[in-house]
Each structure stands twice: as structure tokens, then as C-alpha cells.
């Protein structure tokens, strides 16, 4: 099995990639004002992307949006300075967003999205040049090999809705399947003897994976350097700017809730009825009905209850009260109590698990006998309407919800039913911050929605 | 020697007569308990084969061998009183064997190979850099027939019979072919789970080194059936099918559906059953037409053909002659719904998921988890798999008549173990050795190159 590395184009071709890969901090001199200004401009672009994704924009729209945002904010009087602004602003934001796990996650997602949409707009030659930069373990499929696989490649192209089903029009690259997990999982590539045959326009996926992985590692290193040396060295110069940038500006709001939320066993039915999102209500009702839930349901509901403030002792009592009606108190203690305690970080690795995000719930795969997952995604139209009806949602509201579901905006469908105060335009959270945390703002959910859209196909 | 003789008295029959009578005397009542298990672990369980397998060649003398490898593998034992021992590890066959014989576990699970000996994990947990982490783990699949309960009518719950077992045969064929032809894996072991399903262990080095993300990708690649009682249509194709699905359909699903499942499950025999299928047809008029037609012909009039086949043909004809493309794919959607493999996604996605070891005995059925030959899986019969008590009976048989060195060979387990060794273990160890040698040579070459400027 040979893995050929694509040639590094040392002799410069006519095409200079305009898309930097940010592999190393440039030895440039930056004026202090520019330091801040460039960063803010880039942040506007990233925030714009974040907003676009949360509104469920399609890839073509995102491409255009990205291009507009870039033109609007990332210009420079001297044309030659444009690329410097690009690079500098990226590295400054790295300092700003490397400091916590959540900041890193958001930055990684936005920069990766930015890279993906910019890449798509590059010319073919430029794209090929960039591929060369990445040192990917892939090579172009030779003509004889192509002839052998032509029929299957044609089938593959039709199955992914490629407009010109003529395989001959498409250049394919051969790469070990491990390199393109997202294409494998969605069956968007032909896989033969361990190699995935990737169409040129899917190469983006390959590069994006590499880009994300490089940036992710770099952020962790940057964080280490920041905490160990830079923040102290720069305490009079850069540090105040970096800190101001991260708090004063946008990005998701991950501040801790001011009041700790608490919920007790006696309130639980009432609160469930009034305020639980549909997925949790469904699980809750099934639990009351059947006095049992399978593993997926226990995890999804259990962690949610923890997240909204159900204490461990109350949780144990709650689950025991239900389960003992089906399996007996002794069996509960033996088989189920451990995992309740585990969720609260009292057993095993002692990780304090957080409730599942909408993304995770939407992407889960409930099977026979399961009741977890996202009803907006996993229920049939009929069952969803019935469930909404039971909650007293009627008429117009139901249609709005169904419309969102049809367009696969599951999370928006959920929020659709929430608003009680018409003056509030933003999705309304009626269970304080912890509930909102589930609807973890912007970026994280979008990725989930987009993936859900792809997987659905 | 023989008091009650069977019919016939030839010399050949002498042996049979003896066997029969010995069998009576040595009859071991059906059951599952620690006494039986002690004997099983003492005389039949293939400790050394498990050790050799799990060592992946590292138990040799080659300079590439990693002597710590086997010791970093997690085993877990479930003991008699539901006591659960995790993170067990051993450094040799002897340690493994002694622990099993001593503790007599009702179930043995195998976990991943960790970065350090799992029994020493606490020493590393403090450093917070995830030093105790899975390094290698076979790619595994778990298929349980209860996941098909909505499409099988012959049994429910824990039961399994020859009418629904073809679902497992289909699963093995579809997935095994894909693992070999698509993903390029070679060292694949299929095992009967002991009651109502099958497990698959993919042991190539490349498979063992897959990350969680890559495992999830492969699981998703196989994922077609989505949903539970809350969603109506579980299989919905948007357009032309991916080549993998086309091949599975043409080579396995269609034939098995039409030749085994249609009649085996009586899919159209009752209103309740055919209603389920009619509900999958998006075109209301066709569904109603068939509904009406079938209400009338309750008992098939003159046709000798099975009613399920007749109705399926009628349905197919209507759907495939239609002008709308959406209808033609409905036939495929129905077949996929009733036949396509349903794997347990969570089992495959995570490196640290434990899976029952082959050759364990299932506590509820007493059956041994024997390997299944994927190229002859249609011949596998779960109802004839040797049970613990049968094996012990066979062990008890008189030894003086028949000269067999190996106790194992006296029993029906001998066949399974032979198969395990010749079809799986030996080829696996051979390729491990080759990999070790080639990577070692490559390293030598590299260091030579770096020296010679």
C-alpha cells in the first residue's frame, strides 16, 4: 500500500495562494493600534459567520455572506497589506480565544468555517496549489484505475446529486478512508479496499479537516505560552488589549448564571409540564408511564435534570420511585443507582458531566424502544403534531413549527414554541440560564443543524 | 458392558450402543452454574488462544515486540453475584488462566489496550493530561435481533428461531463484504453472542488504531434504518443509492427478503402486518387499491402460491410500473426496512466499549459463543450450538474406547476451536509478524538514510 505525498511546489507557479494557512506567526512589525483594529475587523467577520450559521443559511448563501463580510471588513488601503492584515488579525485572535475550552471551540469552528467558504471561492489552480501546501496523503486517480471504477464512480456521483453524472468530467483523488471521516459517514465517497475516492469538489472536506486539526493543536500551544510567559511579559502592552477584546466583544455568552437554579422532587411534575422542552417532556412522560427508560433516555433526561438543579439525593429518590415500580427497589440499587451517581461525578472517573447540547440530542440515533433524541427530528409529522397538541399548542403555531421541521431547523422549531412575550424577538428562555445553556448559543448548534441536514440526506 | 442394546449388533453398533448408554449414565442436566463453569474453564476454554490473539504477535522474540502490550489490555469479569470487576489485566497466559479458573466469571468482557496497565491507572489519573487512555481497540460490531422486533413476528424478546435467524445471516453478509471489499480489512472474526445476536471483531492493525471519530464514521456508513416507534418511515431514500447499498441490495437483501423473510415472517398474511407495509407507500391510491384487493381475497382462491408471495408480487408490479420515480424506490425502502442490518451504533463508536469474549458461555441459554464462518453463515443454526451441559456430557464419555489425546476434540467445541485457529488466529498472527518485520525494516532503512548524508 503506497501513500504518495503530493508534490510540494517549491518552484513558484503563477498562482500564489491568497489563502494563508496560519502555520506560523509572521515576523512582522505591527503597530499597537493595528493590533486591536485588525482583530476587531476580523471578529466582525467571524461574528457575521456565526450569525449566518445560526439562521440556518445554506452553504451557497454562506459563501456569499463570507465574501461580503470579508470585503466589508478586511480591506486595507495598501493592497499589499491585505494579506498581512489577514494573518495578523488571525494571530491576535488566537491570543484572545485560546484561553478557555469554550473560547477555543468557538474560534476553531468559526475560523474553520471561514476557511472552508473562502477556499471554495478560490480558482481551481489556487485550490490545487493549496492542496500542495497541506502535504496530504492523497494522489490523483490514474486513468486506468478510473476506467476500472468508472461505473461505480458514476453511481456514486448520482447518489450525491452531482449535476453532471458523467464521471469522466470529474477529477478524483484517492486517499485512505481514515482521512475523510465526514465523507465516509455520509456515504459521499466510493470506498474500495480502504481507499476513499474523493471528487475534486469534496477535497475541501479533506483540507478543512487538516486545517481544523492544525489550528486546534496550535490553540492549545498558544494557551500554554500565553499562561506561562506572554501574559506576564506583555502585561503593560498586549495583555490589556487582549483581555479587553475577549470580554467587551461578541462571541457567545458563557457567563455563569447569577442565581443557582434548584428544583426539587415535589416541583418536578409541575415544572415539567410548564417548562421542559419537548424532548425532555416526552422522556419524562414515558418514564411516568412505563416506570422505565432505556440507557439513552436515562442519560438524556438524567443529565438534563441535573443541569436544571436536581440534587443527587433527590435524583436517586426520583429514579428509584419510578424504576422500583417496574424492576423493584433492590434491582434499582444494584443496577441503576451506580449510573445516577456516575452522572453526578461520584463514581468512576468522577467527571461532572454536563447536560447534552441540542446538537448532540439532534444527532443521536434512537432505536427500538428508545424515547430519547429530538422529537422535532425523530418524530413523524403525525406524532409531532399530536405531541404539540397535547401541550396545548395549536393552529398557526403548530404550522410554524412544522415548517421549521420540514426545513430541518429542529432547534428553531423548538424555540418557535417558546415565545410568550411578543416583544422579545430573540428566542426566549423561560427556564433561566441553565435551560439556555442547552440551547448553547450560535455556533455549536449550527454545526449540529448542518450535520443533521447532511445526515438526513 | 452393554446391557440395554440398541437394534443391530454389529461391531459398529457396539460403539454406538456404548455411546448411547454412556450418554445416559453421563447425562448432565441442562443448566448454568459455577460447578459446570469450573469444569469448562478447567478443560475446554481456550485460554492460550485468547492470549495469543490478544498479544497480536508481541509475545515473540522479534526486536519490534512490545512485551508490555498484553498487560495493557483490559479484561472485565462479571462474577456469580453480579459482582463486576473492571480493569483486570494480566501479563501471561498463566496469569489469565489462573484468574479465570480461580474467579470463575459468569461473563468475560474484553476492553481496549490502554496506554498503561489498567490496574495502575490511578497512578496516572492525577497528572490530568489524560495519560491513561485507550491506545488500540478492535473495530467491533454488535447486532442484536431484538432491534428487529418491529419486523419479526415469529418470536419476540429473547427468543430466536430459524425463521428470524436469516436476519442475522443477512447482517453478516452485508457487513462482512463491506469490511473486506470497501474498507480493505482482512482479519475479521464473527461470533455468536450466545442468545440472540452476533458480534464482529475486526482485528487488522489499521482497525485497532482507528480513532473514535473514524469508528463513528464507519458506523454511520452502515447506518440506514433510523427511528423507533415514534417515527413512521424508518428508511427513506432521497435519490439513487450509494454503490455500497446497491451491492447489498442486489447481492443479499432482495434475495433474502423474497426467499426467506416474506414467507418466514408471513409479512402479508394478516391485516395488521400488511397494513404496516402499505403505510410506507406514499401514494394513497395505490395503498388503498391493494388494501381493498386483499380484503376480498382473504383466503387465496385457486393459487397454490403462498399468499405472501402473491401479494408482494402485486405490490411490486403496481409500484414499479408507476411513472413516478418516488414509487419505484418504495420497493427498495420496504426491503431495506425489513432486511437491512441494524447495528448498535454506540458499541462501535467508542474505543473503551467492552465486548463479551468469544468462547464465553451465555448464562441464560448455556450456549457457547462460538465463531461463525462468514462464508457459510447461511448454514449456521443457533439452535444447535453446543451448550455447557452437552459439552460436559461429552467430556464424561468413556475414553478407553476411543483414543483421543485432546479432551477438546472429544467434544463438539473442538470443531469451533479448530476453525478459530485456522481461519482467524493463524492468518492474523502471520500478518502481525509481517507488519512487525516490515515496519522494523523500514525503521532500519530510515536510520541508515539519515546517517548517510
More confident residue, A78 or B357: B357
Q: Of B88-102, B118-132, B202-216, B282-296, which gets the smallest average pLDDT?
A: B118-132
pLDDT of residue B108: 98
Residues A194 and A216 reside in one and the same domain: no
More confident residue, B18 or B416: B416
Residues B87 and B50 reside in one and the same domain: yes
Residues B334 and B353 reside in one and the same domain: no
ipTM over 0.85: yes
pLDDT at B321 over 90: no
B205 neighbourhood in chain A, CB within 8 Å: none
Distance of residue A132 Cα from the nearest chain B Cα, in angstroms:
24
pLDDT of residue A2: 27
CATH of the domain at B363: 3.90.920.10
A161 neighbourhood in chain B, CB within 8 Å: 239
Asked if B232's CB is within 8 angstroms of A368's CB, the reply is no
Candidates A157, A181, A213, A332, partner chain B, best to mutate (most B CBs within 10 A): A181
Distance of residue B150 Cα from the nearest chain A Cα, in angstroms:
8
Which long-range contacts (C-beta less than 8 Å, at least 24 apart) are formed by A327-331? A327/A292
Asked if A158's CB is within 8 angstroms of B206's CB, the reply is no
Least CB–CB distance from B232: residue in A177, A194, A382: A382
Domain containing B305: what range?
Answer: 243-339
Closest CA to B110 of B356, B369, B348: B356
Asked if B244's CB is within 8 angstroms of A182's CB, the reply is no
> Please, is B258 exposed, middle or buried when counting C-beta atoms within 10 Å of its C-beta (0-12, 13-18, 19+)?
middle
Helices (H), B196-324: 205-208, 212-222, 243-248, 254-256, 262-264, 271-278, 284-296, 307-321
Cα dihedral across residues A351, A357, A361, A362: positive or negative: negative
Under a CB-based contact definition with an 8 Å cutoff, are residues B280 and B366 in contact? Answer: no
Least CB–CB distance from B214: residue in A178, A366, A375: A178
Residues B315 and B353 reside in one and the same domain: no
Q: Does B246 touch chain A (CB under 8 A)?
A: yes
Mean pLDDT, range B353-363, rounded to an integer: 97
Q: Does B157 touch chain A (CB under 8 A)?
A: no
Closest alpha carbon within chain B to A193: B184
pLDDT of residue A432: 30
Q: Return mean pLDDT, chain B.
A: 88
Residues A290 and A431 reside in one and the same domain: yes
Residues B287 and B393 reside in one and the same domain: no
pLDDT of residue B342: 96
Distance of residue A153 Cα from the nearest chain B Cα, in angstroms:
8
pLDDT of residue A417: 47
Least CB–CB distance from B243: residue in A152, A178, A457: A152
A159 neighbourhood in chain B, CB within 8 Å: 239-243
Neighbours of B157 (CB within 10 A): 9
Least CB–CB distance from B246: residue in A155, A195, A382: A155
Residues A38 and A98 reside in one and the same domain: yes
Q: How confident is the model at residue B67 (pLDDT cuts 50, 70, 90)?
A: very high
Q: Quick check: is A109 in a domain?
A: yes
Residues A440 and A299 reside in one and the same domain: yes
Residues B279 and B404 reside in one and the same domain: no
Residues B191 and B297 reside in one and the same domain: no
Q: Quick check: is A129 in a domain?
A: no
The residue out of B339, B356, B388 marking a domain boundary is B339
Q: Quick check: is B449 in a domain?
A: no
pLDDT of residue A407: 72
Length of chain B: 453
Residues A275 and A372 reside in one and the same domain: yes
Residues A189 and A278 reside in one and the same domain: no
Residues A232 and A342 reside in one and the same domain: no
Mean pLDDT, range B189-217, rounded to an integer: 97
Q: Does B129 touch chain A (CB under 8 A)?
A: no
Q: Quick check: is A24 in a domain?
A: no
Residues B183 and B313 reside in one and the same domain: no
Residues A292 and A152 reside in one and the same domain: no
Q: Quick check: is A19 in a domain?
A: no
Residue with cell 491568497: A18
Residues A222 and A367 reside in one and the same domain: no
The residue out of B339, B363, B387 marking a domain boundary is B339
Q: Quick check: is B278 in a domain?
A: yes
Residue with cell 416541583: A267
DSSP B324-354: -HHHHHHHHHHHHHHHS----HHHHH-TT--
Residues B63 and B191 reside in one and the same domain: yes
Q: Quick check: is A317 in a domain?
A: yes
pLDDT of residue A184: 95
Residues B312 and B376 reside in one and the same domain: no
Closest alpha carbon within chain A to B239: A159
Give dist(CA A158, CA B100) in Å, integer: 54
Residues B210 and B69 reside in one and the same domain: yes
Closest CA to A417 of A436, A439, A402: A402
Closest alpha carbon within chain A to B151: A368
Mean pLDDT, range B129-139, rounded to an integer: 88
Residues A329 and A268 reside in one and the same domain: yes
Kindly provide the b/e burial profile for residues B228-238, where b requires at least 16 CB atoms within 10 angstroms of the residue's own CB.
Answer: bebbeebbbbe
pLDDT of residue A252: 43
Under a CB-based contact definition with an 8 Å cutoff, are residues A56 and A446 in contact? Answer: yes
Q: Quick check: is B303 in a domain?
A: yes
Candidates B243, B329, B332, partner chain A, best to mutate (most A CBs within 10 A): B243
pLDDT of residue A27: 73
pLDDT of residue A406: 77
Q: Quick check: is A21 in a domain?
A: no
Distance of residue A299 Cα from the nearest chain B Cα, in angstroms:
13
Annotated binding site of A for [4Fe-4S] cluster: 279, 358, 374
Helices (H), A176-233: 181-185, 203-225, 231-233
More confident residue, B74 or A405: B74
How many separate domains does chain A show?
3
B231 neighbourhood in chain A, CB within 8 Å: 378-380, 383
The residue out of B320, B339, B358 marking a domain boundary is B339
How many separate domains does chain B show?
2
Cα dihedral across residues A51, A55, A59, A61: positive or negative: negative
pLDDT of residue A456: 32
Q: How confident is the model at residue B168 (pLDDT cuts 50, 70, 90)?
A: very high
Q: Which residues of B are catalytic?
A: 74, 142, 144
Q: Does B296 touch chain A (CB under 8 A)?
A: no
Give dist(CA B98, CA B11) in Å, integer: 44
Residues B307 and B433 reside in one and the same domain: no
Angle (CA) A444-A102-A407 rounded to 5° is 5
Q: Quick check: is A188 in a domain?
A: yes
Radius of gyration of chain B (CA): 26
pLDDT of residue B18: 54
Say how many CB pairs under 8 Å bridge A and B. 102
Q: Quick check: is A253 in a domain?
A: no
Domain containing A179: what range?
Answer: 134-202
Distance of residue A94 Cα from the nearest chain B Cα, in angstroms:
22
Distance of residue A355 Cα from the nearest chain B Cα, in angstroms:
18
Closest alpha carbon within chain B to A158: B240
Residues A428 and A303 reside in one and the same domain: yes
Residues B424 and B360 reside in one and the same domain: yes
Closest alpha carbon within chain A to B209: A178
pLDDT at B192 over 80: yes
A152 neighbourhood in chain B, CB within 8 Å: 243
Closest alpha carbon within chain A to B247: A152
Q: How confident is the model at residue B11 (pLDDT cuts 50, 70, 90)?
A: very low
pLDDT of residue A251: 42
Per-residue pLDDT of chain A (457 residues; tens, 9 = 90+): 222 233 333 333 344 557 888 888 777 777 777 888 888 889 989 989 988 888 778 888 999 999 999 999 888 878 778 888 899 899 989 988 888 888 898 899 999 999 999 988 888 778 878 887 877 777 888 889 999 998 999 999 989 887 665 555 678 899 999 988 889 999 999 999 999 999 877 877 778 888 998 999 999 998 888 888 777 777 777 777 777 776 654 444 433 333 445 677 887 887 777 667 788 889 999 999 999 999 999 999 998 888 777 888 899 999 999 999 999 888 898 889 988 999 888 887 777 777 787 767 877 888 888 899 888 888 888 888 888 777 766 677 777 777 777 776 665 666 554 434 333 333 323 233 334 343 333 223 333 333 333 333 2
Residues A389 and A407 reside in one and the same domain: yes
Annotated binding site of A: 279, 358, 374
Amino acid at each position: 500500500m503506497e501513500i504518495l505525498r503530493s508534490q510540494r511546489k517549491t518552484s513558484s507557479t503563477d498562482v500564489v495562494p491568497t489563502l494563508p494557512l496560519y502555520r506560523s506567526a509572521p515576523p512582522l512589525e505591527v503597530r499597537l493600534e493595528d493590533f486591536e483594529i485588525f482583530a476587531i475587523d476580523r471578529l466582525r467577520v467571524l461574528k457575521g459567520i456565526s450569525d449566518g450559521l445560526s439562521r440556518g443559511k445554506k452553504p451557497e448563501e454562506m459563501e456569499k455572506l463570507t465574501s461580503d463580510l470579508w470585503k466589508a471588513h478586511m480591506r486595507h488601503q495598501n493592497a499589499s497589506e491585505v494579506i498581512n492584515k489577514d494573518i495578523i488579525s488571525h494571530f491576535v485572535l488566537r491570543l484572545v480565544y485560546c484561553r478557555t475550552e469554550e473560547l477555543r471551540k468557538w474560534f476553531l469552528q468559526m475560523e474553520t468555517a471561514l476557511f472552508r467558504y473562502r477556499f471554495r471561492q478560490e480558482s481551481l489552480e489556487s485550490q490545487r496549489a493549496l492542496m500542495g501546501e497541506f502535504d496530504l496523503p492523497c494522489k490523483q486517480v490514474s486513468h486506468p484505475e478510473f476506467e476500472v471504477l468508472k461505473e461505480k464512480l458514476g453511481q456514486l456521483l448520482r447518489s450525491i446529486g452531482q449535476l453532471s453524472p458523467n464521471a469522466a468530467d470529474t477529477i478524483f483523488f484517492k486517499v485512505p478512508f481514515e482521512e475523510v471521516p465526514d465523507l465516509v459517514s455520509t456515504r459521499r465517497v466510493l470506498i474500495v479496499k480502504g481507499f476513499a475516492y474523493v471528487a475534486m469538489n469534496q477535497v475541501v472536506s479533506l483540507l478543512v479537516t487538516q486545517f481544523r486539526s492544525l489550528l486546534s493543536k496550535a490553540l492549545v500551544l498558544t494557551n500554554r505560552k500565553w499562561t506561562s510567559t506572554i501574559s506576564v511579559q506583555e502585561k503593560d502592552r498586549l495583555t490589556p488589549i487582549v483581555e479587553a477584546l475577549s470580554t467587551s466583544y461578541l462571541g457567545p455568552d458563557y457567563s455563569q448564571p447569577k442565581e443557582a437554579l434548584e428544583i426539587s422532587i415535589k416541583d418536578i411534575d409541575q415544572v415539567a409540564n410548564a417548562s421542559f422542552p419537548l424532548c425532555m417532556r416526552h422522556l419524562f412522560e414515558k418514564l411516568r408511564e412505563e416506570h422505565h427508560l432505556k440507557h439513552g433516555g436515562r442519560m438524556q433526561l438524567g443529565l438534563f435534570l441535573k443541569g436544571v438543579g436536581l440534587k443527587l439525593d433527590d435524583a436517586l429518590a426520583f429514579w428509584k420511585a419510578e424504576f422500583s415500580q417496574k424492576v423493584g427497589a433492590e434491582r434499582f440499587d444494584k443496577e441503576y443507582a451506580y449510573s445516577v451517581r456516575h452522572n453526578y461525578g461520584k463514581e468512576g472517573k468522577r467527571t461532572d458531566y454536563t447536560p447534552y447540547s441540542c446538537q448532540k440530542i439532534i444527532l443521536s440515533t434512537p432505536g427500538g424502544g428508545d424515547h430519547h433524541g429530538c422529537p422535532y427530528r425523530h418524530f413523524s409529522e403525525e406524532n409531532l403534531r399530536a405531541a404539540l397538541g397535547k401541550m396545548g399548542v395549536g393552529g398557526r403555531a403548530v404550522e410554524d413549527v412544522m415548517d421549521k421541521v420540514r426545513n430541518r431547523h429542529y432547534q428553531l422549531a423548538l424555540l418557535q414554541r417558546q415565545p410568550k412575550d411578543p416583544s422579545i424577538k430573540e428566542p426566549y428562555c423561560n427556564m433561566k440560564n441553565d435551560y439556555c445553556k442547552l440551547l448553547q448559543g450560535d455556533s455549536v448548534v449550527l454545526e449540529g443543524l448542518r450535520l443533521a441536514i447532511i445526515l438526513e440526506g | 458392558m452393554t446391557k440395554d442394546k440398541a437394534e443391530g449388533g454389529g461391531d459398529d453398533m457396539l460403539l454406538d450402543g456404548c455411546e448411547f448408554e454412556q450418554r445416559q449414565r453421563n447425562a448432565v442436566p441442562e443448566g448454568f452454574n459455577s460447578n459446570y463453569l469450573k469444569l469448562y474453564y478447567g478443560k475446554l476454554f481456550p485460554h492460550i488462544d485468547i492470549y495469543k490473539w490478544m498479544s497480536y504477535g508481541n509475545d515473540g522474540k522479534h526486536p519490534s515486540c512490545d512485551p508490555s502490550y498484553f498487560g495493557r489490555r483490559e479484561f472485565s469479569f462479571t462474577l456469580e453475584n453480579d459482582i463486576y470487576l473492571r480493569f483486570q489485566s494480566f501479563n501471561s497466559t498463566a496469569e489469565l488462566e489462573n484468574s479465570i479458573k480461580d474467579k470463575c466469571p459468569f461473563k468475560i468482557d474484553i476492553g481496549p489496550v490502554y496506554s498503561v496497565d489498567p490496574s495502575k491507572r490511578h497512578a496516572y489519573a492525577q497528572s490530568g493530561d489524560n495519560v491513561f487512555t485507550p491506545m488500540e481497540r478492535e473495530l467491533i460490531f454488535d447486532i442484536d435481533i431484538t432491534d428487529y422486533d418491529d419486523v419479526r413476528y415469529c418470536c419476540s424478546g429473547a427468543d430466536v428461531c430459524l425463521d428470524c435467524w436469516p436476519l442475522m445471516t443477512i447482517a453478516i453478509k452485508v457487513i462482512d463484504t463491506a469490511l473486506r471489499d470497501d474498507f480493505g480489512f482482512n482479519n475479521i472474526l464473527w461470533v455468536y453472542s450466545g442468545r440472540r445476536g452476533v458480534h464482529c471483531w475486526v482485528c487488522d492493525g489499521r482497525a485497532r488504531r482507528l480513532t473514535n471519530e473514524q469508528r463513528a464514521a464507519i458506523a454511520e456508513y452502515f447506518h440506514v434504518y433510523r427511528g423507533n416507534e415514534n417515527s413512521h418511515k424508518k428508511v427513506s431514500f432521497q435519490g439513487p443509492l450509494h454503490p455500497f447499498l446497491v451491492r447489498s441490495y442486489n447481492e443479499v437483501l432482495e434475495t433474502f427478503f423474497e426467499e426467506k423473510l416474506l414467507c418466514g415472517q408471513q409479512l402479508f398474511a394478516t391485516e395488521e402486518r400488511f397494513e404496516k407495509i402499505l403505510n410506507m407507500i406514499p401514494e394513497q391510491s395505490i395503498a388503498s387499491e391493494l388494501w381493498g384487493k386483499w380484503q376480498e381475497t382473504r383466503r387465496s382462491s385457486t393459487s397454490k402460491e403462498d399468499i405472501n408471495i402473491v401479494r408482494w408480487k402485486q405490490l411490486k408490479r403496481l409500484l414499479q410500473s408507476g411513472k413516478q420515480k418516488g414509487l419505484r424506490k418504495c420497493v427498495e425502502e420496504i426491503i431495506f426496512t425489513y432486511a437491512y442490518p441494524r447495528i448498535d451504533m454506540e458499541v462501535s463508536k467508542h474505543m473503551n466499549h467492552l465486548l463479551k469474549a468469544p468462547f464465553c458461555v451465555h448464562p441464560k441459554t448455556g450456549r457457547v459463543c462460538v465463531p461463525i464462518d462468514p462464508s457459510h453463515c447461511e448454514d449456521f443454526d443457533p439452535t444447535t450450538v453446543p451448550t455447557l451441559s452437552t459439552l460436559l456430557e461429552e467430556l464424561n464419555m468413556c475414553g478407553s474406547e476411543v483414543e483421543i489425546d485432546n479432551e477438546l476434540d472429544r467434544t463438539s467445541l473442538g470443531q469451533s476451536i479448530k476453525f478459530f485457529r485456522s481461519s482467524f488466529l493463524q492468518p492474523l498472527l502471520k500478518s502481525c509478524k509481517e507488519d512487525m518485520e516490515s515496519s522494523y525494516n523500514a525503521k532500519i532503512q530510515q536510520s541508515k538514510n539519515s546517517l548517510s548524508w
